[in-house]
Structure 1
Amino acid sequence: MSLCLASAGVVKALALASFTLAWSHSVEKTAWQEDWRVTPDGLELAQARVKGSGAGMEPPPEARLVDGWFQWQPQRAPLSRLVLANSGAAGEWRVCGDGQCRTLSEIFGHDIGVATITMSVCNE
């Protein structure tokens, strides 16, 4: 399985069966991470974690504090696509897999600015 990222008519395929999506909250500037799996049913959210709480980012009651991160396992059906918007106020989204993290600009090879990015399972 591969992860496809699409923006402004350009599609980038990443050979990843799982990945971490990382970003900083635009107001609180707090780190947030989500672990995703690329499955035949779509993108499956396996775990979420945040380095704190505040404006619109309170961890749910089932979250547990582990090594400075509130962690929990969201219970939701796989998504056919995930749409990311970049406000430009908190840095870029990062995709981490195979031991490295890259910004969306690094993946696309140019500054993506506030472009919308759609993530999905590649149709192979």
Structure 2
Amino acid sequence: MGLCLAAAGALVHLGVSQLTLSWTHSVQKVAWEEDWRAVPQGLLLEQARVMGTGAGMEPPPEAHREGNFWVWKPDLAPLPTVILRRSGATDDWRLCIAGTCRPLSDFVPAAADPVELKPCA
């Protein structure tokens, strides 16, 4: 099972079963990262990291510091999809695969909104 992006009527196979979704918070301007993996039940959020706090992005009590990030394992059941919206008011989402991060626009058109991250065969 792998990961795909669905946008503007197209389906893009990413060729991996896990990735890190990264973005910059629109208000606080700090980095946020989430590690996602395709499992038979959907998409599993394995770990979340945030570089700062504020504006509704406070790390939970179980978070701990690793370098510049607050890190925790969310207690969330697998999701069928993750919807990525693009407002144009912030930098694009970044997909990090095997240590290399690229903007979402490298995979789907920059104007495509919404974009779905989902498991695929």
Q: TM-score band (shorter)? A: over 0.9
Whole-Å separation in 2 of the counterparts to 1:19 and 1:97: 5
Q: What secondary structure sits across from 2:35 in the alignment?
A: strand
For the pair 1:63 / 2:44, whether they are aligned, the reply is no
For the pair 1:77 / 2:77, whether they are aligned, the reply is yes
Trace 1:1-124 onto structure 2 (pairs within 5 A).
1-108=1-108, 110-112=109-111, 115-122=113-120, 124=121
Whole-Å separation in 2 of the counterparts to 1:112 and 1:2: 24
Q: Which runs of 5+ in 2 are unaligned?
A: none
The root-mean-square deviation of aligned C-alpha atoms, in Å, is 1.2
Could you tell me how far 1:4 is from its partner in structure 2? 1.0
Whole-Å separation in 2 of the counterparts to 1:84 and 1:111: 12
Q: What secondary structure sits across from 2:53 in the alignment?
A: coil
Whole-Å separation in 2 of the counterparts to 1:31 and 1:83: 19
Q: Structure 1 segments of 4 or more deviating over 3 A?
A: none
Whole-Å separation in 2 of the counterparts to 1:15 and 1:78: 20
Whole-Å separation in 2 of the counterparts to 1:64 and 1:4: 31
Whole-Å separation in 1 of the counterparts to 2:14 and 2:93: 15
Contact 1:22 / 1:31 at 8 angstroms: preserved in 2?
yes
Whole-Å separation in 1 of the counterparts to 2:69 and 2:119: 28
Whole-Å separation in 1 of the counterparts to 2:60 and 2:90: 23
Number of residues paired by the alignment?
121
What is the CA deviation profile of residues 80-115 of structure 1, one whole-angstrom value per residue up to 9, with x for unaligned ones?
Answer: 11111112222010111122111111112x3236x1
Per mean C-alpha deviation after superposition, the further-off stretch among 17-26 and 86-95 is 86-95
Residue 55 of structure 2 aligns with an amino acid whose one-letter code is: A
